[in-house]
Amino acid sequence: MIDFQLFLTPTLETIYMVFLSTIFAVLIGLPAGVLLVVSEGNHVAPNPTLHRILGLLVNISRSIPFIILMILLFPLSRLIVGTTIGTTATVIPLSIAAAPFVARVVESSLKEVNAGVIEACRSQGASTMQMITKVLLPEALPGLVLGITMTIINLIGYSAMAGAIGGGGLGDLAIRFGFYRYELGILIIAVLIIILLVQLMQYAGNSLANAIYKKRS
Amino acid sequence: MIQLKSLTKTFPNPDGKIMAVDQVALTINTGEIFGIIGLSGAGKSTLVRLINRLEEADSGEIWIDDTELRQLSINQLNLERKEIGMIFQHFNLLQSRTVEENVALPLELAGMKKNQITARVQETLDLVGLADKAKVHPAQLSGGQKQRVAIARAIANRPKILLCDEATSALDPQTTKSILTLIKELKKTLNLTVILITHEMEVIREICERVAVMENGAVIECDAVETVFSHPKTKLTRSFVTSLRPDRKSVATKDSTSYRLKLTFLGDSIREPLLSRTIRKYNVEINILAAEINQLATVPVGNLLIEVSGSKKEIESCIHKFQQQEIQVEVVSA
């Protein structure tokens, strides 16, 4: 018989990791994405050098495979959290892996904002900061919600991978019990819970975005 | 007063540079409605964007009263922009905001206090006749209503100047008229100076006092609207003037002795000796200007353009007679 108590802690750990790393990834990625957009050639605060450097940074960090990024970031985890093992330590590489993704997601949503609307607000004397907070972000909100949903789902996947090198959570459970101890049942249930989490998040994200669209139509 | 002095703007393109605005010098008086007409690509939209520096000019000066706009820093410019409202062909309203929130935006940008904003928004929506749509999102409005919201937004800060960039080009003729009437009213109540860009001569005739004609980035003619209409100097201006459709309203009220009518008749009525009977019955003379018969799928359709001369009363009764015979009558001109 499978002990369901076994799954409770890893599930909570996964949720904890994903939740925290989403927050940090958005804290880093959102400003980066906004800067990427507004610094572009004909946008509100053109700055080609900044635009190119940011784009390069984002591309480089997105090119590194997550598992390698995690190992590369061990020293940073040790510095901030004091250890490289466990859920809290895993939040560091997860956040840093997801941040450039968030930046690109934010960039593509903000680019969808109608150029005419931006022009109209410039004609009213909006400063760059006002343009970002009062025009770009609110106008792009449904796209941002969907993009962050996508980030959360990616992070659920990454967090399971992090389990392989001592990250805790459902991935860790699946590897330790299912792989090393041949308890296939536990592996399958762990995967099912991950699927359930992904479904729930996608459903919540879609509903929220649709609610915003509906309010505006 | 707005003074543009040898304003020039070029855009790079693969074969060198395109002269979008070429040495434009214009003086626009305070409180007038000034039209700028030209074909698409003539540079009129670029010119209007140079005025509030949505586009930066290559050279030249932009004077608004005693301020030269090109000398201002970006912060000073943003302050000055609050004195210059602007409306656009595609309205450019924010989807994330309701009508009242859209109108409130320029006030928020200007740092006005919340309770003052509420009062001002209310007042401004009343001015454009949309107070009942305050809580609605723009997606639910018609084109004309959206443009009214855009106008309310443009005048919320009570600017001195209103720039209109093809503001009626996406609207049907009826709505165009009502928007132009609104602009005319607002000009009076708020003492605005209006600069209006269009490619339609009718818009110029409807509300402008003076007009500049643009071609290839340069102003080729600039004068009072009546002068340009009666004595167009250039070929382009002549083509704009002749493109005008006859103004039906002024014809109908005129006590003229000669009317030009377009008659459209269907099916059997085509075979009636309509005109000879009319001449015999009424004291009018009829001159046929154009006639054609088209065979539709089931019935023939006749179109006849005639000129009827006689007393106003006689002409009206013969129009009435035509209509009784189920002939469509349209008064084309006098």
Per-residue pLDDT tens over the stretch B179-235: 999 999 999 999 999 999 999 988 998 899 999 999 999 999 999 988 888 788 888
- Give Cβ neighbours of residue A162 (< 8 Å, ≥ 6 apart): A17, A66, A70, A90, A93, A94, A168, A169, A171
pLDDT band at residue B115 under the 50/70/90 scheme: very high
Centre a 10 Å sphere on the Cβ of residue A150 and count the other Cβ atoms it contains: 16
Which residues of chain B make contact with A123, given a CB cutoff of 8 A? 52, 54, 81, 84-86, 163
Q: How far is C-alpha B78 from the geometric centre of its chain's CA atoms?
A: 28
* Model pLDDT, residue A70: 87
| Tokens matching residue A4 | 């369901």
Write b or e for each residue in B240-265: b if 16 or more Cβ atoms lie within 10 A of its Cβ, otherwise e. Answer: bbeeeeeeeeeeeeeeeeebbbbbeb
Beta-carbon-side half-sphere exposure of residue B40 (alpha carbons within 13 Å): 2
**Which of A210, A98, A97, A102 lies closest to A147 in space, CA to CA?**
A102
* Model pLDDT, residue A93: 92
pLDDT over 80 at B320, yes or no: yes
* CA–CA separation, B19 and B8 (whole Å): 8
* Model pLDDT, residue B256: 55
C-beta separation of A22 from A98 below 8 A: yes
Burial class (CB in 10 A: 0-12, 13-18, 19+), B313: exposed
C-beta separation of B124 from B102 below 8 A: no
* Model pLDDT, residue A37: 96
Which residues of chain A make contact with B103, given a CB cutoff of 8 A? none
Q: Does A210 or B14 have the greater pLDDT score?
A: A210
Of A117, A119, A124, the CB nearest to B106: A124
A-B CB pairs within 8 A amount to: 72
Q: What residues are paired with B78 via a beta bridge?
A: none
* Model pLDDT, residue B189: 94
Q: Indicate the range of A175-184, B168-177, B287-296 predicted with least confidence.
A: B287-296
pLDDT band at residue B295 under the 50/70/90 scheme: low
This model of the complex carries an ipTM of 0.86
Write b or e for each residue in A59-91: b if 16 or more Cβ atoms lie within 10 A of its Cβ, otherwise e. Answer: eeeeeeebeebbeebbeebeeebeebebbbbbb
Per-residue pLDDT of A164-196, as tens digits, reads 777 888 988 888 888 788 888 888 999 999 999
Distance from CA of A120 to the nearest CA of B (A): 6
Q: Could you tell me where the DSSP H helices lie in A39-73? A: 48-63, 66-72
Beta strand B210-215 pairing with B218-224: antiparallel
Distance from CA of B312 to the nearest CA of A (A): 51
* Model pLDDT, residue B311: 82
* CA–CA separation, A120 and A123 (whole Å): 5
Choosing among B92, B140, B141, B146, which should be mutated to test the A contact, i.e. which has the most A CBs within 10 A? Answer: B92
| Tokens matching residue B221 | 């003619």
| Tokens matching residue A94 | 């997860």
* CA–CA separation, B9 and B17 (whole Å): 10
C-beta separation of A82 from B17 below 8 A: no
Q: Could you tell me where the DSSP H helices lie in B89-158? A: 99-109, 114-128, 143-155
| Tokens matching residue A197 | 């989490």
Q: What residues are paired with B27 via a beta bridge?
A: B3
* Model pLDDT, residue B249: 44
What is the tally of helices (H) and strands (E) in chain B?
12, 14
Q: What are the DSSP calls for A170-211, one per residue?
A: HHHHIIIIIIIS--HHHHHHHHHHHHHHHHHHHHHHHHHHHH
Give the residue carrying structure tokens 């984002």. Answer: A58
* CA–CA separation, B304 and B146 (whole Å): 40
Consecutive 10-residue averages of pLDDT for chain A (217 residues): 80 94 97 96 90 95 90 90 87 94 96 95 95 97 96 93 82 85 88 94 96 91
Per-residue pLDDT of B233-267, as tens digits, reads 888 888 887 776 554 444 444 455 778 888 877 77
Choosing among B82, B91, B94, which should be mutated to test the A contact, i.e. which has the most A CBs within 10 A? Answer: B94
* CA–CA separation, B140 and B103 (whole Å): 16
Mean residue pLDDT of chain B comes to 88
| Tokens matching residue B20 | 């979008």
Do you know the residue count of chain A?
Answer: 217
The percent of residues above 70 in pLDDT, for chain B, comes to 92
C-beta separation of B157 from B85 below 8 A: yes
Q: Indicate the range of A179-188, B48-57, B146-155 predicted with least confidence.
A: A179-188
Provide the strand spans (E) within B116-217. Answer: 161-165, 193-198, 210-215
Of A121, A139, A216, the CB nearest to B137: A216
